[in-house]
Amino acid sequence: MDFNSDVYIKRLARYYRRLVHLRQYGVLRVSSEELATHIKISPSQVRTDLSKLGVGQSGYGYRINNLIAELEKLLGVDKRNNMILVGVGKLGQALLTYNGFSKYSFNFMAAFDINPQLQGETFGMLLEPVKSIKELPYYLATHKVSIAALAVDPESVQSVVDILVAGGVKGIWNFAPRFPEVPDGVVIENVHIQESLLKLSFRLEESRVENNLTN
């Protein structure tokens, strides 16, 4: 098994969300069968995935607190992750107002935009007013930034990424509909909203066709 594959990492994230949810309701243990039913995979796959964490089943199921602690280490959410945002349009503002990030130790420290009308404004969980994009290089030189989220137009994404890389940013979360190039050592996660919507539309249409064939 490739423990660095996207499929495996997505399963880990789903385990983590489920476990946190169960802990909120006072559940202390969970079995591989229960996790498998929720995530719709086999219990053996759950046990294989979690074996990497070094937390085995004891008696009835896994101890939820132990699993959460190990998953937090593996997923890197056991420490504070300082983020910045470049691009404070409608999508950027939606990201800033989503309070779920702080639950997983992701915090927006600053935001930058080219639009003077947005500069000086504050949104959501942002701790300080939006800055000019011209201030980005200096900010990176004086602050430790783990992750940069991009919600810029496709024409600007590569130039912004180049500034981020030069400023030492190692993780980029890109919402722009263009996939920029990054050097080795920089991790980028491209989120293509339109592509995801088209995938959903395709699966919905496929389901309709199957239903028509069986009716």
CA distance 37 to 39: 6
Same domain flag for 86 and 181: yes
Contact status, residue 192 vs residue 177, Cβ threshold 8 Å: yes
Q: Is 114 a member of any domain?
A: yes
Residue 84 β-bridge partners: 110, 148
Domain that holds residue 21: 6-74
Same domain flag for 97 and 167: yes
- Cα torsion 121, 125, 126, 128 to 10°: value is 80
Same domain flag for 69 and 160: no
Same domain flag for 161 and 90: yes
pLDDT at 203: 78
pLDDT digits (tens, 9 = 90+) for 135-170: 999 999 999 998 999 999 999 999 999 999 999 999
CA angle 171, 176, 180 (to 5 degrees): 60
Q: Is 205 a member of any domain?
A: no
pLDDT digits (tens, 9 = 90+) for 184-201: 999 999 888 777 777 778
Handedness of CA 25, 14, 106, 92 (dihedral sign): negative
Q: Is 207 a member of any domain?
A: no
Structure pTM? 0.78
**Lookup result for tokens 């101890």:** 63
Provide the number of structural domains found in the chain. Answer: 2
CA angle 76, 81, 85 (to 5 degrees): 130
Q: Residue 73 above 50 pLDDT?
A: yes
User: What CATH code is carried by the domain that includes residue 37?
Assistant: 1.10.10.10
Same domain flag for 28 and 51: yes
Q: Residue 215 above 70 pLDDT?
A: no
Q: Give first-to-last CA distance, the chain, whole Å.
A: 40
Q: Is 213 a member of any domain?
A: no
Same domain flag for 141 and 189: yes
- Residue 190: closest CA among 154, 164, 166, 165: 154
Same domain flag for 69 and 93: no
Average pLDDT over residues 41-48: 89
Q: Is 10 a member of any domain?
A: yes
Same domain flag for 97 and 61: no
Average pLDDT over residues 61-79: 87
